[in-house]
Structure 1
Protein backbone atom coordinates (compact mmCIF):
# COMPACT_ATOMS: atom_id res chain seq x y z
CA UNK A 1 0.00 0.00 0.00
CA UNK A 2 2.84 2.38 0.80
CA UNK A 3 4.28 1.83 -2.70
CA UNK A 4 0.90 2.64 -4.22
CA UNK A 5 0.76 5.87 -2.23
CA UNK A 6 4.20 6.89 -3.46
CA UNK A 7 3.22 6.08 -7.03
CA UNK A 8 -0.01 8.04 -6.63
CA UNK A 9 1.88 11.12 -5.51
CA UNK A 10 4.14 10.99 -8.56
CA UNK A 11 1.33 10.93 -11.16
CA UNK A 12 0.66 14.12 -13.14
CA UNK A 13 -2.02 13.26 -15.72
CA UNK A 14 -5.64 12.20 -15.72
CA UNK A 15 -4.83 9.26 -17.97
CA UNK A 16 -2.25 7.85 -15.55
CA UNK A 17 -4.55 8.48 -12.61
CA UNK A 18 -7.48 6.81 -14.35
CA UNK A 19 -5.30 3.80 -15.14
CA UNK A 20 -4.20 3.52 -11.53
CA UNK A 21 -7.82 3.80 -10.42
CA UNK A 22 -8.82 1.01 -12.80
CA UNK A 23 -5.94 -1.16 -11.62
CA UNK A 24 -6.49 -0.51 -7.92
CA UNK A 25 -8.47 -2.97 -5.88
CA UNK A 26 -9.87 0.04 -4.01
CA UNK A 27 -11.54 1.73 -6.97
CA UNK A 28 -15.10 1.12 -5.69
CA UNK A 29 -14.21 2.73 -2.35
CA UNK A 30 -12.60 5.69 -4.09
CA UNK A 31 -15.66 6.21 -6.28
CA UNK A 32 -17.93 5.96 -3.23
CA UNK A 33 -15.83 8.60 -1.45
CA UNK A 34 -16.06 10.90 -4.47
CA UNK A 35 -19.81 10.37 -4.66
CA UNK A 36 -20.16 11.10 -0.94
CA UNK A 37 -18.24 14.38 -1.11
CA UNK A 38 -20.08 15.57 -4.21
CA UNK A 39 -23.49 14.58 -2.85
CA UNK A 40 -22.94 16.62 0.33
CA UNK A 41 -23.12 19.67 -1.94
CA UNK A 42 -26.11 18.30 -3.89
CA UNK A 43 -23.96 17.38 -6.90
CA UNK A 44 -25.10 14.01 -8.17
CA UNK A 45 -22.70 11.51 -9.71
CA UNK A 46 -23.45 8.05 -10.96
CA UNK A 47 -20.39 6.11 -9.87
CA UNK A 48 -21.51 3.15 -11.99
CA UNK A 49 -21.11 5.23 -15.13
CA UNK A 50 -18.03 4.60 -17.26
CA UNK A 51 -18.06 8.37 -17.84
CA UNK A 52 -17.48 9.28 -14.20
CA UNK A 53 -14.53 11.54 -14.99
CA UNK A 54 -16.41 13.52 -17.61
CA UNK A 55 -19.37 13.83 -15.22
CA UNK A 56 -17.02 15.26 -12.60
CA UNK A 57 -15.49 17.60 -15.17
CA UNK A 58 -18.94 18.87 -16.15
CA UNK A 59 -19.85 19.64 -12.53
CA UNK A 60 -16.52 21.38 -11.98
CA UNK A 61 -16.83 23.39 -15.19
CA UNK A 62 -20.28 24.60 -14.13
CA UNK A 63 -19.05 25.48 -10.66
CA UNK A 64 -16.05 27.36 -12.06
CA UNK A 65 -18.33 29.60 -14.11
CA UNK A 66 -21.51 29.77 -12.03
CA UNK A 67 -20.77 29.11 -8.36
CA UNK A 68 -17.10 29.51 -7.46
CA UNK A 69 -17.86 29.69 -3.72
CA UNK A 70 -19.53 26.28 -3.90
CA UNK A 71 -16.52 24.90 -5.74
CA UNK A 72 -14.24 26.23 -3.00
CA UNK A 73 -16.52 24.57 -0.44
CA UNK A 74 -16.16 21.24 -2.30
CA UNK A 75 -12.38 21.59 -2.45
CA UNK A 76 -12.26 22.46 1.25
CA UNK A 77 -14.41 19.42 2.08
CA UNK A 78 -12.08 17.18 0.05
CA UNK A 79 -9.03 18.89 1.58
CA UNK A 80 -7.48 20.40 -1.54
CA UNK A 81 -5.50 23.59 -1.34
CA UNK A 82 -5.23 26.24 -4.01
CA UNK A 83 -1.45 25.83 -3.83
CA UNK A 84 -1.79 22.25 -5.14
CA UNK A 85 -3.87 23.49 -8.05
CA UNK A 86 -1.32 26.18 -8.78
CA UNK A 87 1.58 23.71 -8.64
CA UNK A 88 -0.09 21.28 -11.06
CA UNK A 89 -1.03 24.13 -13.39
CA UNK A 90 2.61 25.22 -13.41
CA UNK A 91 3.72 21.63 -14.10
CA UNK A 92 1.37 21.42 -17.11
CA UNK A 93 0.21 24.90 -18.19
CA UNK A 94 -1.80 23.41 -21.08
CA UNK A 95 -4.09 21.41 -18.77
CA UNK A 96 -7.52 23.07 -18.50
CA UNK A 97 -8.47 24.22 -15.01
CA UNK A 98 -11.38 21.77 -14.78
CA UNK A 99 -8.97 18.91 -15.54
CA UNK A 100 -6.51 20.13 -12.93
CA UNK A 101 -9.27 20.18 -10.31
CA UNK A 102 -10.69 16.81 -11.41
CA UNK A 103 -7.23 15.25 -11.28
CA UNK A 104 -6.52 16.59 -7.80
CA UNK A 105 -9.91 15.51 -6.47
CA UNK A 106 -9.41 11.94 -7.68
CA UNK A 107 -5.84 11.86 -6.42
CA UNK A 108 -6.84 13.16 -2.97
CA UNK A 109 -9.78 10.77 -2.68
CA UNK A 110 -7.47 7.87 -3.58
CA UNK A 111 -5.05 9.01 -0.89
CA UNK A 112 -7.82 9.09 1.71
CA UNK A 113 -8.96 5.58 0.87
CA UNK A 114 -5.41 4.22 0.78
CA UNK A 115 -4.57 5.79 4.14
CA UNK A 116 -7.72 4.30 5.66
CA UNK A 117 -6.80 0.86 4.32
CA UNK A 118 -3.21 1.22 5.46
CA UNK A 119 -4.11 2.19 9.01
CA UNK A 120 -7.53 0.58 9.57
CA UNK A 121 -6.15 -2.32 11.62
CA UNK A 122 -3.35 -0.39 13.25
CA UNK A 123 -5.42 1.70 15.64
Structure 2
Protein backbone atom coordinates (compact mmCIF):
# COMPACT_ATOMS: atom_id res chain seq x y z
CA UNK A 1 0.00 0.00 0.00
CA UNK A 2 1.50 3.33 -1.02
CA UNK A 3 1.45 6.54 1.03
CA UNK A 4 -1.68 7.97 -0.59
CA UNK A 5 -3.61 4.71 -0.11
CA UNK A 6 -2.58 4.54 3.56
CA UNK A 7 -3.59 8.15 4.09
CA UNK A 8 -6.99 7.62 2.49
CA UNK A 9 -7.51 4.41 4.47
CA UNK A 10 -6.68 6.12 7.78
CA UNK A 11 -8.91 9.12 7.10
CA UNK A 12 -11.83 7.00 5.92
CA UNK A 13 -11.65 4.92 9.08
CA UNK A 14 -11.45 7.94 11.36
CA UNK A 15 -14.16 10.06 9.75
CA UNK A 16 -16.40 7.51 7.99
CA UNK A 17 -16.18 9.31 4.66
CA UNK A 18 -15.60 7.81 1.24
CA UNK A 19 -12.49 9.26 -0.39
CA UNK A 20 -11.74 8.24 -4.00
CA UNK A 21 -8.13 7.19 -4.70
CA UNK A 22 -7.68 9.90 -7.34
CA UNK A 23 -8.61 12.78 -5.05
CA UNK A 24 -6.29 15.80 -4.87
CA UNK A 25 -4.83 17.05 -1.60
CA UNK A 26 -7.17 20.06 -1.57
CA UNK A 27 -10.21 17.91 -2.32
CA UNK A 28 -9.23 15.52 0.47
CA UNK A 29 -9.01 18.40 2.94
CA UNK A 30 -12.41 19.69 1.82
CA UNK A 31 -13.91 16.23 2.31
CA UNK A 32 -12.48 15.91 5.83
CA UNK A 33 -13.51 19.48 6.71
CA UNK A 34 -17.19 18.53 6.42
CA UNK A 35 -17.25 16.01 9.31
CA UNK A 36 -14.83 18.19 11.28
CA UNK A 37 -17.24 21.12 11.02
CA UNK A 38 -20.10 18.86 12.10
CA UNK A 39 -18.08 17.80 15.14
CA UNK A 40 -17.32 21.44 15.96
CA UNK A 41 -21.05 22.17 15.95
CA UNK A 42 -22.46 18.99 17.51
CA UNK A 43 -19.80 17.07 19.43
CA UNK A 44 -16.76 19.20 20.19
CA UNK A 45 -15.49 16.81 22.89
CA UNK A 46 -15.34 13.98 20.35
CA UNK A 47 -13.34 16.21 17.99
CA UNK A 48 -10.91 17.01 20.79
CA UNK A 49 -10.55 13.29 21.45
CA UNK A 50 -9.86 12.59 17.78
CA UNK A 51 -7.26 15.34 17.61
CA UNK A 52 -5.60 13.97 20.73
CA UNK A 53 -5.62 10.40 19.39
CA UNK A 54 -4.22 11.52 16.02
CA UNK A 55 -1.56 13.52 17.88
CA UNK A 56 -2.32 16.85 16.22
CA UNK A 57 -0.19 19.55 17.84
CA UNK A 58 -2.37 21.69 20.10
CA UNK A 59 -0.01 24.71 20.03
CA UNK A 60 0.14 24.55 16.23
CA UNK A 61 -3.65 24.22 16.04
CA UNK A 62 -4.16 27.24 18.31
CA UNK A 63 -1.65 29.25 16.30
CA UNK A 64 -3.22 28.37 12.95
CA UNK A 65 -6.72 29.15 14.16
CA UNK A 66 -5.55 32.48 15.59
CA UNK A 67 -3.58 33.49 12.49
CA UNK A 68 -6.35 32.48 10.07
CA UNK A 69 -9.42 33.44 12.08
CA UNK A 70 -11.31 34.47 8.92
CA UNK A 71 -10.96 31.01 7.35
CA UNK A 72 -13.12 27.95 7.91
CA UNK A 73 -11.94 26.30 11.14
CA UNK A 74 -12.91 22.88 9.80
CA UNK A 75 -10.62 23.35 6.82
CA UNK A 76 -7.72 24.43 9.03
CA UNK A 77 -8.20 21.48 11.35
CA UNK A 78 -8.59 19.08 8.40
CA UNK A 79 -5.33 20.37 6.94
CA UNK A 80 -3.50 19.74 10.21
CA UNK A 81 -5.04 16.25 10.46
CA UNK A 82 -3.97 15.31 6.93
CA UNK A 83 -0.47 16.73 7.45
CA UNK A 84 -0.07 14.81 10.73
CA UNK A 85 -1.27 11.55 9.20
CA UNK A 86 1.24 11.98 6.35
CA UNK A 87 4.03 12.60 8.87
CA UNK A 88 3.16 9.42 10.75
CA UNK A 89 3.04 7.34 7.56
CA UNK A 90 6.41 8.65 6.39
CA UNK A 91 7.98 8.09 9.81
CA UNK A 92 6.75 4.49 9.89
CA UNK A 93 8.16 3.92 6.41
CA UNK A 94 11.55 5.26 7.51
CA UNK A 95 11.66 3.03 10.56
CA UNK A 96 10.63 0.02 8.49
CA UNK A 97 13.38 0.82 6.01
CA UNK A 98 15.91 1.02 8.86
CA UNK A 99 14.65 -2.31 10.28
CA UNK A 100 15.35 -3.97 6.95
CA UNK A 101 19.01 -2.94 7.21
CA UNK A 102 19.52 -4.69 10.57
CA UNK A 103 21.10 -8.13 10.38
CA UNK A 104 18.63 -10.93 11.18
CA UNK A 105 20.75 -12.21 14.09
CA UNK A 106 20.76 -8.79 15.77
CA UNK A 107 16.98 -8.34 15.68
CA UNK A 108 14.92 -8.90 18.79
Give the TM-score band, short-chain normalised.
Answer: 0.7 to 0.9
Q: Does 1:34 align with 2:11?
A: yes
Query: Residues of 2 paired with 1:72 and 1:85: CA distance?
Result: 11
Task: Give 5+ residue unaligned stretches, structure 1.
Answer: 1-24
Q: Does 1:45 align with 2:22?
A: no
Query: Residues of 1 paired with 2:62 and 2:29: CA distance?
Result: 21
CA root-mean-square deviation? 1.9
- Which protein is bigger by CA-based radius of gyration? 2
Query: Residues of 1 paired with 2:10 and 2:56: CA distance?
Result: 14
Deviating beyond 4 angstroms after TM superposition, the runs of 4 or more aligned structure 1 residues are none
1:64-105 CA-to-partner distances (Å, cap 9, x unmatched) read 010001101111111113212112223433322111100100
Corresponding residue pairs, total: 94
**Shift of the alpha carbon at 1:30?**
1.4
Task: Give 5+ residue unaligned stretches, structure 2.
Answer: 100-108
TM-score, normalisation: structure 2: 0.74
Match of 1:82 among 58, 75, 82: 58
Q: Is the 8 A contact 1:46 1:52 kept in 2?
A: no
Query: Residues of 1 paired with 2:75 and 2:29: CA distance?
Result: 9
- How do 1:108-119 residues align onto structure 2 when only pairs under 5 Å count? 108-119=84-95
